[in-house]
Amino acid sequence: ALILGIESSCDETAAALVTDTREIVAHRLAGQEAEHTPYGGVVPEIAARAHVEALMPLVEGALADAGKSLDDADAIAATAGPGLIGGVMVGLVTAKALALAAHKPLIAVNHLEGHALSPRLASPDLKFPYLLLLVSGGHCQLLLVEGVGRYRRLATTIDDAAGEAFDKTAKLLGLGFPGGPAVERAARSGDPKAVPLPRPLVGTADPHFSFAGLKSAVGRARDAGRWSSEDISASFQQAVVDCLVDRTRRAIEAVRVERSRDTLLDCARSERGAIRALVVAGGVAANGAIRTSLQQLAAEQGLPFVAPPLWLCTDNAAMIAWAGAERFAAGLTDPLDTPARARWPLDPDAAPARGAGV
Ligand code: ATP
Ligand code: MG
Ligand code: FE
């Protein structure tokens, strides 16, 4: 099957054609950095307008690159949330119009499911279940990915997302926007041990995350005037690495304890088996230091490590088309009155993270 995917939930407009056999037939992407840079962050109304202008030319461009027409697609997948609602509506309404005009099924994809399944697009050997560290601009979660549409959230951030912490640090240090790549670049010529910074929640029992205190500490370090922005960047990045590794190790251990209990108590459930891999996805997974240290953690834990190529980590439409392909293969399509959603948890049953007692 050939799936057309559309992404527009934040500040990337993108269209892609992907097959259920993992062939990325075409993918196009337009960023909005120039539009948002004067404001130091994404302005929702500007983003929505830019999506309107960019999207159809990208869809037509992707089809042209592939030498295909809309008739060749078997389904049309679009991000239906979570994200900035104006942008999500632009992409979803466009997908609905195309689906209606071409008599194709619509697949409403959760953007987080796009990130969560993206490692399977690049790595055919990656099988369920796997432990996923989803680190992006708006999220920082540990998820047990048991199958398409089956996500169990083990942990989340009690305040900021990891990408948000990178973006705020970049802003504090005047490194520009978007912050993640700028902080990583500055960190390369800095000393990760130079600035004493906290490791929030490290060592606590539940594998939750917290980054707000770290960001405040970065602000104080800057105000102290004793360190270069390279040293602060390197020390900040090291603190994030230490938090992500500690929390992920904690989650691996917790899953293993739970699985061995399952095996003892309930033979049928044990069939689901142990996790097959440690996987990282989302924009922050493009960070080299984070990838390297998670790879070491996986080796220490005797698990294969899977991370998508850098361009598949940050927002793109190939991951949405792929999630569409996985859902289409499972027989999951959606009605044309499916709403756009600003908020849409992958695991609706997950209890809110408790910040208390820590
Ligand atoms: P979400 O997926 O949670 O809805 P989003 O779509 O805005 O949020 P992504 O596009 O997945 O987020 O990721 C963008 C985030 O990734 C930004 O916060 C950005 O700073 C961060 N990021 C990108 N590259 C890097 C990098 N090399 N190092 C650290 N962070 C990075
Ligand atoms: Mg972006
Ligand atoms: Fe994203």
Tens-digit pLDDT profile for the chain (358 aa)?
A: 999 999 999 999 999 999 999 999 999 999 999 999 999 899 999 999 999 999 999 999 999 999 999 999 999 999 999 999 999 999 999 999 999 999 999 999 999 999 999 999 999 999 999 999 999 999 999 999 999 999 999 999 999 999 999 999 999 999 988 899 999 999 999 999 999 999 999 999 999 999 999 999 999 999 999 999 999 999 999 999 999 999 999 999 999 988 887 766 654 444 456 899 999 999 999 999 999 999 999 999 999 999 999 999 999 999 999 999 999 999 999 999 999 999 999 999 998 886 543 3
Strands 75-81 and 106-110, how do they pair?
parallel
Tokens of 130: 């796997």
Spatial CA neighbour of 144 closest among 238, 252, 13? 252
* Cross-strand partners of 142: 133, 155
3-state SS, residue 186: helix
* Cross-strand partners of 17: 4, 26
Nearest residue (CA) to ligand 1, atom 3: 138
Q: Residue ranges for the binding site?
A: 111, 115, 134-138, 167, 180, 184, 287, 315
Q: How far is CA 91 from CA 9, 339, 347, in A?
A: 8, 12, 23
With tokens 């055919």, the residue in question is 124
Spatial CA neighbour of 167 closest among 150, 183, 185, 191? 183
Q: What is the DSSP letter of 123?
A: -
Strands 305-306 and 106-110, how do they pair?
unpaired
Strands 24-31 and 12-19, how do they pair?
antiparallel
Ligand 1 atom at minimal distance to the Cα of residue 83: 4
What pLDDT digit, counting tens, does each position of 264-311 carry?
665 444 445 689 999 999 999 999 999 999 999 999 999 999 999 999
Ligand 1 atom at minimal distance to the Cα of residue 237: 29
Ligand 1 atom at minimal distance to the Cα of residue 162: 18
pLDDT computed for residue 126 by the predictor = 98
Q: Looking at this predicted complex, what is its ipTM? A: 0.99
Cα 197 to ligand 2 centre (Å) = 27
Q: Which ligand is nearest to the CA of 138?
A: 1
pLDDT computed for residue 326 by the predictor = 98
pLDDT computed for residue 270 by the predictor = 43
pLDDT computed for residue 259 by the predictor = 80
Give the integer Cα–Cα distance in Å for 68 and 17.
9
Asked if 174 and 281 touch (Cβ cutoff 8 Å), the reply is no
CB of 167 sitting under 6 A from ligand 1:
yes
